[in-house]
A and B are shown apart, each in its own frame.
Chain A
């Protein structure tokens, strides 16, 4: 039987990174609309995070294989 305290960290390890990526993506999407030039630069970084994660994973897999 899994206790509540055991489950929480596992839940966070599975969904923590995706939630952070989603939050940063949303911040970037809205920043470009609402914060002028600064928001535009911020959006380039935050909205690109999913692309960077996948490129980094692809490189890691290629190097390890």
Chain B
């Protein structure tokens, strides 16, 4: 019962998130690049200078390039390189003019996103909702088991509309539930995997990343940082055929205290999700190491589009909304059927008790 309410929360908040880009744009929270087709973007160090000028006294954490919006560069600044994510400021800059276009990740959709991912309770909230996702998967499996006794004498997609309202809703619950099993399991379980992102990242840092930076153990944080232009040039050379998705500054959670980490992406729908880190010396921008991410982080990266439904164009997003609404109907009708069954049982018990009293009084 309680988990059903959290599942409803996840489905209801997930609904607007499917169109969060479009909603942000409509509400004016999505910065748009200035039209400069065919003009080469400025060297990335110029964007860094613009970002630090816009946020005096703070430091750079990350800089990222949106593959769908090449005219935009996002700069993440914070109080310290290892500052809390909630204290980070994300600003969009025009890739050609370096003009500040506005903040990113603000507005009402941020509240919906926080409700959907952690209910404003940080990592504990994330793990709790991940647990709800696992319960959702268990409920789906138990629904498959119950599908047989309820439908074995019926043809597929039978709705007994001439019976009671409860029977009609039971048939709809069974039909919608059974045809959305695969989608609901994929979206539910990929959502669970996403709640483990921080844990997976911590595991990667303590194993793979630690092995990558082991030869540089004991080196202090860079006295002066290499130019981002050199970092971009060296990283692109180290991963031919790939482009930079984002760069983590030394000391941030995605790298060591001495290295930049450039996360490279391919150009197909699949390889654009599978990032490859290139570690570069924080002072000289020399390539230190590069290797593919471990399987569990690749699974995390692939699980994200499968959860968000943002990888197949607008039609797939519309289908995602329809399937989400259908899941809400399944959860709501399941709740209704459960309450109806309880009230019928309570009524039957009351009738039995009355009968027993009548018999005893004869």
Give residues in A with beta carbon < 8 Å to B: 10, 13-18, 21-23, 25-26, 29, 32-34, 36, 39-40, 43-44, 47-51, 53-54, 56-57, 60-61, 64-65
Contacts and interface: CB of A to CB of B under 8 A. Distances in A.
Given A17-B156, A36-B268, A40-B313, A51 B147 contact: no
Interface string B260-278: 0000000011100100000
A54 B179 CA distance: 9
Interface of chain A, main secondary structure: helix
Interface stretch (B59-67, B120-128, B283-291, B304-312): B304-312
Contact of B316 (A16, A23, A44, A64): A44
B326 interface: yes
B315 A33 contact: no
B3 to A, nearest CB: 23
A47 B183 contact: yes
Contact of A33 (B155, B179, B306): B306
A39 B313 CA distance: 11
Contacts of B181: 18, 22
B179 A32 contact: no
Interface centre among B183, B268, B323 (most CB of A within 10 A): B183
A43 B322 CA distance: 14
Given A14-B148, A14-B151, A33-B270, A53 B157 contact: yes
Interface in B174-213: 175-176, 178-183, 186
Contacts of B178: 18, 21
Interface residues of B, number: 35
22 contacts: A14-B151, A14-B156, A18-B181, A21-B179, A25-B186, A26-B186, A29-B186, A33-B273, A33-B311, A36-B269, A43-B312, A43-B316, A44-B316, A44-B319, A47-B183, A50-B176, A50-B183, A50-B323, A54-B179, A60-B159, A64-B161, A65-B161
Contacts of B183: 25, 29, 47, 50
Contacts of A65: 161-162
Interface string B125-154: 000000000000000000000011001100
Interface string B161-178: 110000000000001101
Contacts of A17: 156-157
Nearest to A57: B157
B182 A25 contact: yes
A10 B147 CA distance: 13
A40 B316 contact: yes
Contact of A32 (B157, B159, B312, B326): B312
A23 B185 CA distance: 12
Given A26-B182, A47-B323, A53-B157, 5 more contacts: A18-B178, A33-B306, A34-B270, A50-B179, A57-B175
